[in-house]
Amino acid sequence: TVALENNGSIKTAEQKSLKVGDKVVILKVTNQGNTAYSIWDKFRLNYIYFIIIGFFAVILIFAGIKGLGSILGMIISFTVLLGFIVPQILNGRDPLLISVVGSIVIMFITIFLAHGISKKTTSAVISTFISLTITGILGFLFVKGFHLTGLGDENNVFLQIGNLQINSQGLLLGGIIIGALGVLDDVTTAQSAAIFELHKLDKKLSITDLFSKGYSIGREHIASVVNTLILAYAGASLGLFVMFVLNPTNTPVWVMLNTDMIAEEIVRAVAGSIGLILAVPITTIIASYITKRST
pLDDT tens readout for residues 118-130? 999 999 999 999 9
Tens digits of residue pLDDT in 151-192: 777 776 677 776 666 778 888 888 888 888 878 888 899 999
In terms of DSSP H, where are the helices of the chain? 13-16, 45-80, 86-90, 95-115, 119-145, 154-159, 168-201, 207-236, 238-246, 253-258, 260-293
* Contact indicator for 278, 134 with CB cutoff of 8 Å: yes
pLDDT for residue 9: 46
- Answer whether residue 11 shows pLDDT above 60: no
pLDDT for residue 281: 93
Tens digits of residue pLDDT in 72-121: 888 999 999 999 998 888 887 888 888 889 999 999 988 888 888 899 99
Closest CA to 265 of 231, 224, 225: 231
- Whole-angstrom Cα distance, residue 16 to residue 24? 13
pLDDT band at 3 (very low <50, low <70, confident <90, very high): low
- Answer whether residue 10 shows pLDDT above 60: no
- Answer whether residue 241 shows pLDDT above 90: no
Closest CA to 185 of 274, 103, 83, 75: 103
- Whole-angstrom Cα distance, residue 286 to residue 295? 15
- Answer whether residue 268 shows pLDDT above 50: yes
Q: Kindly calculate the radius of gyration of the chain based on its CA atoms and give it in whole angstroms.
A: 24
Contacts of 229 (CB under 8 A, 6+ apart): 183, 269, 272, 273, 276
